[in-house]
A = this chain, B = another copy of it.
Amino acid sequence: MPAYPAWSVRRYVYSTVSLPPELRSVLGQYAEVVEAGTSGAVLDPEKVEVLLCGPVVAEELDKMRNLRLIQCVYAGVDGLPWGHIRNDVVVASNAGSNADAVAEHAFALLLAAAKRVAFFDSRMKRGVFDITGESRMLYGRRILVLGLGAIGRRVAEIARAFKMRVTGYARSRRGDEPVEELHLEGELDKALSGADYAVISLPLNKHTKGLITYQRLSLMSRQGILVNIGRAPIVVREDILRFLRENPTFTYATDVWWNPQNMREEMDLIALPNVVSTPWIAGAASSREVYQEMLRTAVENVVRYLKGERIQNVVRHEDYK
């Protein structure tokens, strides 16, 4: 039996992701929880007050006329069908929930590129042992962290432990950024100029889509490394492809893709010797532990809402519409 009083109006949370029993029971103290695809779980869409998602079908969303909150399980909300979300619905991302995992992956990619671990490992497994080319140091190099949310801040903190010179690029100044130098929106060209390395840890929205162009890549060191653990479309695909072909000493190390549903279309990029690739696994996709933590923080935020407390990670509709 739910813990909320019998006289209260029943509140409904509809989840498009499967929740572990302990999280269902936490939510169950404040609302009825219905999971999509659960046998026997039929819920009138008009009753849904909170949508906890995962993937969401636009047509289902249209029917949820009394929806008040969309809580994403993923850190980014760029995958939501924004054209179907009313302006009075509060949308919360799950930013920060996987920040440690993704920041670690950023350094896995940066170091794999700088020390050419994937290159040498695959050669050695083929029986080729000669030492060729130059490794790169992190120590003393200038790294630009694009986006200083939870992930970007962790990246900056770890970069400092590697004794790198850390520059940040952010939408606005908070005052406690762990960087030596901070560039605000509109100063991206200046921020990129002469940077040895850059890490993209920005959300994908209408302000960041296509931000990294051929022209801007040209501002970085020719021995540079661009790490993308944000979203692929922040980089103009044809621009990075051309830049990498023209600059074999520049490396693109990425976990994110333009066509994740059809990775064959990415082969032109993946096949380049100056690309280091992982298949979008930095966050939840290859770690049960990280995914469980993401579910936990998403449910925690829904509980805040249900208790009438201030919720976290509310995003601005105008950034996505």
Whether B114 pairs with A111 at a CB distance below 8 angstroms is no
Of the listed stretches A22-30, A155-163, A192-200, A311-319, name the one at the interface; the rest are far from the partner chain: A155-163
Bound-state Cα–Cα, A215 to B163, Å: 37
Given contacts A108-B117, A112-B121, A121-B122, contact A100 B137 (CB under 8 A): yes
Q: Across the two chains, which residue of chain B brings its CB closest to A109? A: B117
Bound-state Cα–Cα, A282 to B111, Å: 12
Q: Across the two chains, which residue of chain B brings its CB closest to A139? A: B100
Whether A131 pairs with B289 at a CB distance below 8 angstroms is no
A286 interfacial contact with B, CB 8 Å: yes
Q: Across the two chains, which residue of chain B brings its CB closest to A276? A: B121
Question: In the complex, what residues of B have CB within 8 A of residue A133's CB?
Answer: 286
A interface list, Cβ under 8 A from B: 100-101, 104-105, 107-109, 111-112, 114-118, 120-122, 124-125, 127, 129-131, 133-139, 157-158, 160-163, 263-264, 267, 270-271, 276-282, 285-290
The copy count of this chain in the complex is 2
Given contacts A118-B121, A277-B121, contact A129 B263 (CB under 8 A): yes
Q: Return 7 A-B CB contacts under 8 Å, by A number.
A: A101-B139, A107-B111, A118-B121, A121-B278, A122-B125, A129-B264, A137-B287
Question: In the complex, what residues of B have CB within 8 A of residue A163's CB?
Answer: 100
